Amino acid sequence: MAKTKVKFACTECGTESPRWMGKCPGCQAWNTMVEFKETVSKTKGVGLAGIHTKETPTSIIHIESGKEPRIETAMQELNRVLGGGVVPGSLILVGGDPGIGKSTLLLQTSHALAIKDLKVLYISGEESIRQTKLRADRLGALSEHLFVLCETNMEHINDAIDNMNPDFLVIDSIQTVYDPGVESAPGSVAQVRECTANFMRVAKQKGIATVLVGHVTKEGAIAGPRLLEHMVDCVLYFEGERHHSYRLLRAVKNRFGSTNEIGIFEMGEEGLREVSNPSELFLSERSLGVSGSTVVASMEGTRPVLVELQALVSPTHFPSPRRMSTGIDHHRMSLIIAVLEKRIGMFLQTQDAYLNVAGGVKLDEPAVDLAAAVCIASSFKDAPTKPDDVIFGEVGLTGEVRGVARAEQRVKEAAKLGFKRVIMPEKSLKGWTPPADIKVIGVSTVSEALRAALE
């Protein structure tokens, strides 16, 4: 006889407890413990969805190593984020805000694989097959090898997978699928965990590349237990403003590739279109000859991206000035302002300072420090920078400018887009020759960079 246990789990981190608690002991969140029932039998365990293997330990030197085979899609931006393509047997989790374009991206990807004579099964638990067909007509995603199923019952889904044996499987979304053997509502902690474990078993045993669509909370994290992200091989976030046309695909976990790459798409009437040159997109609305604006060369994985930085420094009548930043870490901005005050002598204690990365991009590398310092100083002095300048470099607490990685790729990207000067760390000039059509100025301190940029 199966035995039913009542447990409580945190919806934020998945921590389990035999009794209810007002505060989660794992993530310290309040009022996140919810009740769920767990059925345990002697023939089937909980959490592994029937995975039973019996193997003997093997010496690591006797294990054959080889490169993982990949299925390349027609979207090069998606291939870049995944590390070269979709790995057969991998389990991928895609999250994003409602209406951002997750279903559109996966339907276009399914069509791109179906036209390569791969069998694709698209299972939708939120739309009917007619609604999916209307979306496919609009996107032009019509192929004989693309099959659509509207189902939420796990047992029926397993039967469809066994009968069809697809090469690529999409579940839209994991929160709508339920297991009849689990006594809880669809989308609960127990259901999401058990259904994800089932798809993990199917992906690994049958070698089917599986993509799960996950809902997100109001904080932007994927809804459900934190265990969900640990079970999958790859976690992708589809980001962007709903009122803007561009979208960013970012990997926060990838067992088969790097997590530094981003893919950039533009939403149009016929679906998502790849943006091969993101620098032109982010600089298309840039204002010239205005103080507090400069261009920084940032690296997103292996690709250099030129983005506009904007700063606004204005007097305040309050005893505590405001420091706000968008797209750059707030603490990094405070550090740069402290360096300008101590090493350069700028009196910013009575000034509100606002720093923004135009286009909604998030920059988290230290190479943007020098551009941020020049941008803030330009707004404070009301002295515009030259519109043909690109600035990058790391700023230390003593006011020195430190070298950064991949300076050659940054300079070549600036030269390709028609910029005339690059202000960069002097230490990063060694070992390569700059292009002939661009002037490179090496600086070792912040004061030298300010003289070169604001002269």
Rounded Cα gap, residues 315 and 292, in angstroms: 15
- Annotated binding residues for ATP, as ranges? 96-103
3-class SS of residue 163 = helix
Cβ(234)–Cβ(113) under 8 Å?
Answer: no
Burial of 256 (0-12, 13-18, 19+ CB in 10 A): middle
**11 CB contacts (<8 Å, ≥6 apart)?**
32, 34, 189, 223, 224, 225
| Residue 351, H or E segment | strand 351-357
Residue 71 DSSP symbol: B
- Annotated binding residues, as ranges? 96-103
Count the alpha carbons within 13 Å of 199 in the hemisphere toward its beta carbon.
Answer: 32
Rounded Cα gap, residues 213 and 219, in angstroms: 17
Among all chains, which residue has been given the structure tokens 């070698």?
Answer: 207
Rounded Cα gap, residues 154 and 202, in angstroms: 12
Tokens standing for 243? 């009122």
First to last CA, the chain: 83
